[in-house]
Amino acid sequence: MKQHEESAAADVAAAIPKPERRPKSDKKGFWHSQWKKVKKHRGVLWFIIPAAVFTLLFSYVPMLGVIFAFKDGADGKFDLSQGDIIWNLTHGAWTFSNFLNIFVDNTFYKAVGNTLLINLFRLAFCFPLSIVIAVMLSELKHQSLAKVILIIICIPNFLSWAIVIGIWAGLLNPSVGILGRVTGHIMAQDAWFKPLAVFFSAWKGAGWGCILFYSAIASIDKTYYESATLEGANRLQKMWYLTLPSILPTIALMLVLNISGMMAAGFEQIYTMMQISTDLHDSQIILDTYLYEISVLNQNNIPFATALGVFNGAIALFLMLVGNAITTRTMKRGLW
């Protein structure tokens, strides 16, 4: 192999006076060099196979299901009870109307509105809360106390959503809950649904979310603070002009990550909350729960449900790509 290369290089060197050692065309060189790498790593390359098989089977094979979105399912032609998947694929007309039907579906608009609202509230409330707690913890004189507090406020993150909502439903229960006796049954009130959803997210996730910021603050050089103190800066000034700018890259990255996940408002949380008061359906529905309802609970128009799922996935993909473009441009690193 090596000899062959050298002789080729010698030929080219003879033909062209420049001492350039790029003998082959790019394409042949690419496959040739890849083949050399394959041979070099042939002992470990098969390590990829198990992960690739699982990814192929449970991520890529479902992507083929996108074609269901192009079948006509409006009049029950697409019926899983009538036959298997192959039967359904070969029967019934092809159409693009499922995607168009998304835009005339009122529930879809309600779901998108609720999803965006809940996520905007979260962005405005939960996200800054994590940063504020992290800054406050780092301002404590005794950092061991800060760690104890952090350990305590992280506990809810390790409870499942069923338990978190079970606890609060118990507390806010109007007849037996200790808070519910004062507030009434606010979990069954329209106006309280979104604030409570955001509050539960904060209660569960704020402590865990602030670990990242807390360790970012802890890694700031302490001598900056000493010199700031000597210059006569007070606590607020140190927080504003020293701590926050130092963790700004972390904040920006998490902000972009949050915005990229804007279309997912937490299926488990919202769906569990919806079970407590089922009569407020329209003010509670988010994209994920709507998708779940039309795909699993009442499968009367499977092509439309597929189309909505694909559409949702496409928007999520778009947001992720935009987020990645932003972080690569401004922070010189991708989202993944």
Partner 1 sequence: MKKTDKTAAPEAVAGYLPPAKRRRNPFRRNPNKIKESVLDRCLAVLNIVILLFFVVLVCFPLLNYFSLAFNNGNFNLDVVIYPVRPTLKAFEYVLAGDGAKNFWRAFGNSVVITLIVTVGSNLVEAMAAYPLSKKDCPFKSGIMMFFIITMLFSAGIIPIYLLMSALGLLNTIWSIIFISISNVTHLLYFKTFFEGIPSDIEEAAKLDGASDIQLFFRIIIPMSLPILGSCCFFTIVGTWNSYGSALLFINQSDAGKAAQPLAYYIYLMLQDSSFDKNNPWLAANIQNVEAAAMLASILPILLMYPYVVRYIRGGIQIGSVKG
- 151 forms part of the interface with partner 1 (CB under 8 A): yes
| CB 228 within 8 Å of CB 238 | yes
Query: Of 100 and 163, which CB lies nearer to partner 1 in the complex structure?
Result: 163
Number of CB atoms found within 10 A of residue 302's CB: 19
3-state secondary structure of 202: helix
CB of residue 19 to partner 1, shortest distance in Å: 25
Q: Is residue 255 part of the contact set for partner 1 (CB under 8 A)?
A: no
List for the chain the helix, strand, coil content (%; round to 5). Answer: 75, 0, 25
Contact 222, 138 (CB under 8 A): no
Residue 41 CB, shortest distance to partner 1, in Å, is 6
Smallest separation (angstroms) from partner 1 to the CB of 11? 26
Q: Is 325 near partner 1 (CB under 8 A)? A: no
Q: Which residues of 176-214 are buried (b: 16+ CB within 10 A; e: fewer)?
A: ebeebeeeeeebeeeebbbebbbebbbbbbbbbbbbbbb
Check residue 322 for interaction with partner 1 (CB under 8 A): no
If you ran DSSP here, which 8-state letter would residue 57 be given? I
Nearest-approach distance from CB 29 to partner 1, in angstroms: 13
Q: Give CA–CA dist 300/293, Å, rounded.
A: 10
One residue of 133, 196, 251, 286 binding partner 1 per CB under 8 A: 133
**According to the binding rule CB under 8 A, does residue 112 interact with partner 1?**
no
**Angle, in degrees to the nearest 10, between helices 193-218 and 267-276:** 150
Q: Count residues contacting partner 1 (CB under 8 A)? A: 103
Q: According to CB under 8 A, which residues from 8 to 37 bind partner 1?
A: 34-35, 37
Contact residue for partner 1 among 10, 16, 48, 100 (CB under 8 A): 48
Q: Is 245 in the site for partner 1 (CB under 8 A)?
A: no
With respect to partner 1, which residue has the nearer C-beta, 120 or 149? Answer: 149
Binding of partner 1 by 212 (CB under 8 A) = yes
Question: Which residue from 9, 102, 116, 167 is in contact with partner 1, where contact means CB under 8 A?
Answer: 167
Check binding of 306 to partner 1 (CB under 8 A): yes
How far is Cα 5 from Cα 16, in angstroms, rounded to an integer?
16
207 and 156 in contact (C-beta within 8 Å)? Answer: yes
Q: Is 259 in the site for partner 1 (CB under 8 A)?
A: no
